[in-house]
Amino acid sequence: MTKHAAPRQAAASPTPAQATGARGAPVAPASNFLRAIIAEDNRSGKYGGRVVTRFPPEPNGYLHYGHAKSIILNFGLAAENGGRCHLRFDDTNPVKEDVEFEDSIAESVRWLGFDWGPHRYHASDYYDRLCTFAEWFIGAGLAYVDSQTAEEVRASRGTLTAPGTASPYRDRPVAENLDLFRRMRAGEFPDGAHVLRLRIDMASPNVNMRDPAIYRIRHASHHRTGSKWCIYPLYDYTHCISDALEHITHSICTLEFQDHRPLYDWVIEKLADGGQLARPLPQQYEFARLNLSYVVLSKRRLIQLVANRHVDGWDDPRMPTLVGARRRGFTPEGFRLFAERIGVSKADSWIDMSILEDCMREDLNARAQRRIAVLDPLKLVIDNFPADHAEDCLAPNHPQQPEQGRRVLPLTRELWIERDDYAEVPPKGYFRLSPGAEVRLRYGYVIRCTGADKDADGNVVAVHCTYDPSTRSGTPGAEARKVKGNVHWLSSGNAIEAEVRLYDRLFAVPFPGARNPWGQRDGDPEGAAPARAEVVAGDLVEEADAAEPVERDYLDDLNADSKRTIRAYVEPALAAAAAEDRFQFERHGYFVADLKDHGPGRPVFNRTVTLKDSWSRRASGT
Ligand code: ATP
Ligand code: MG
């Protein structure tokens, strides 16, 4: 495993951006090792030109940004090659899985822009065949029922340096194994009484090959098969067979499964040799999972964030889930651009959050219409502007796309401007309003500030100015008057109030919970620790037990300013925005009408991302 690059280096590291050209035109995607393998297989005719991949989520939680990388990779490779990608729910653990998660997972894959057509499958679709194959393994002398306790199995497994020791049940006669396995299936034994193990090699240097368990007893009802089964197949056994039954060609998974590949091959090779499966068999390939700074991506931690109410649910816009991303206003196209930009490799590294945010900015810049919002309103009075007059100023909906037209912003005597666009004593380099200073009202006139009213406590309550009628934007000679400042505004007579939620990064440091949360991360990247199933032990060791060493409490690194809700003024046109419409609020950032809470008479906008990255300066301490 490689040492992790510091985030600022990671920003520059992997494959160069290739998804879109300067004006968003698609360009040829960069090659990567998986594209090269598939091209070679197509050339050699290994699979007769077929490319069939699969995305195999376990329906025990919501998808996160890391899954997006896997989805885009699997569906993308298939699409590029005229192939197909299956959506397969890997539902081998009856206790933790649910239809609620399945629906959300399918919805998120669709949201990212992918379609599995009729190829929606479940590992549980194969329970009968998996069981038949298990009996075949028993009959071939390649599997046995082990009646040791889970502790005994674990203790005899050996270590990375010492071989395992054989179970006293390893040489049970075939007939006895078959009888016991059938009685396991019939429900004669309690949980944990026996496991079915493959008979491979207790001395193998690869621990996964030391007689892995493939079936365990679990008297639990399954969300799809109900109470039909009380034995359930384990992941490593199920996954490769499911792939083979679906005629998957390229089975792409994350690096932690590298050491499981010999077992993957062993199972399906044996079945093919025995005439149980057709060749050509699928081939497993591993790529580096997404590790992203400023978030956590392990299911266990995401669950904790929700359960302990650090966020407002799974779809909280700060959550790195795909349902959260959607409410945040992130776009599927932005995710695809991101996936292309970070590329795929075989070495673990960290990707800085700014890369994902930049991809969203880039996509939103092209697609979001511009609107005005005043987030921290201060009254501006144009003293020489007629009181009952409204003058239509025209603002382009998109500065680079004139075909999108313009909209009217009525200029009136009283306006809202941003509070920080006025300074009684301007700091050095401040080009906005201060007594005597001139600025342009965006799409309107040049004004000169004449002073401000204050309340009894000395707070500024209104700014006064005069305008110069010869300087209207877009009229001849108007631009002759050079002013450095340009401020946005809304007529106080027709701006509407909106709830605006200013979201920011969920964590305040790049590596939440790390001993050095700002720098190089010690230890394994999150989640790269052991895979979800501890197959040798004969029962599941939950991921929580197998997870990375805790360095500090990652919850201490939550960003206290990750959500601020304000009342703001927005253009009246925004009242008609549909949920999920996205805009650039000029000078502020990209915003989206909230999927859940926005509606007629109740405008609610979420900040997706600011216009510029304010975090890289913090990270580098400049
Ligand atoms: P987690 O590790 O967060 O609990 P998981 O791996 O258990 O997630 P699965 O439902 O098993 O979740 O994942 C489905 C697919 O997504 C798998 O092929 C897995 O390798 C892939 N995947 C999971 N996390 C990432 C990630 N961070 N980057 C890329 N792919 C990922
Ligand atoms: Mg996993």
Chain segment 482-510, per-residue pLDDT in tens: 899 999 999 999 999 999 999 999 999 99
Catalytic residue among 299, 327, 407, 440: 299
Residue 474 in this model has a pLDDT that exceeds 90: no
For ligand 2, the distance from its centroid to the CA atom of residue 197, given in whole angstroms, is 22
Of the residues 69, 172, 289, 440, which is catalytic?
A: 289
Per-residue pLDDT at 5 = 38
Residue 438 β-bridge partners: 448
Q: Which amino acid is at 262?
A: P
Distances (CA, A) of 143 to 121, 206, 272, 596: 27, 18, 16, 52
- Using CB atoms within 10 Å of the CB of residue 136, give its burial: 0 to 12 exposed, 13 to 18 middle, 19+ buried: middle
pLDDT tens digits, one per residue of 256-300: 999 999 999 999 999 999 999 999 999 999 999 999 999 999 999
Confidence of residue 28 (pLDDT cuts 50, 70, 90): low
Is pLDDT larger for residue 407 or for residue 476?
407
Q: Round to whole Å and give the CA distance between 432 and 441.
A: 10
pLDDT 10s digits, 294-328: 999 999 999 999 999 999 999 999 999 999 999 99
Is 299 noted as a catalytic residue in this protein? yes
Portion of the chain with pLDDT greater than 90, in percent: 82
For 544-584, how does the pLDDT look when each residue is reduced to its tens digit (9 = 90+)?
Answer: 333 445 568 999 999 999 999 999 999 998 989 999 999 99
Q: Is 424 helix (H, G, I), strand (E, B) or coil?
A: coil
User: What gap in Å lies between CA 225 and CA 91, rounded to an integer?
Assistant: 10
Q: What is the separation, in whole angstroms, between the first and last Cα of the chain?
A: 31
DSSP 496: E
Assess contact for 606 and 338: CB atoms under 8 A: no
The helix-helix angle for 235-245 and 261-273 (nearest 10°) equals 50
| Cα 66 to middle of ligand 1, angstroms | 7
Per-residue pLDDT of 592-622, as tens digits, reads 999 999 998 999 999 999 999 988 767 665 4
Give the closest residue to 212 by CA, choosing from 190, 191, 195, 193. Answer: 195
Query: Phi and psi for 514 in degrees, rounded to 5?
Result: -75, 155
- Answer whether residue 25 shows pLDDT above 60: no
Q: Give the residues surrounding ligand 1 with Cβ less than 6 Å away.
A: 56-58, 66-67, 69-70, 253-254, 289-290, 297-299, 527, 532, 543
Whether the bond between 572 and the residue before it is cis, its omega within 30 degrees of 0, is no
Tell me if residue 24 falls in helix, strand or coil.
coil
Q: What is the pLDDT of residue 481?
A: 82
Q: Which of 70, 97, 303, 543 for a ligand 1 pocket mutation test, highest count of atoms within 8 Å of Cβ?
A: 70
Task: Give the ligand at the shortest distance from the Cα of 530.
Answer: 2
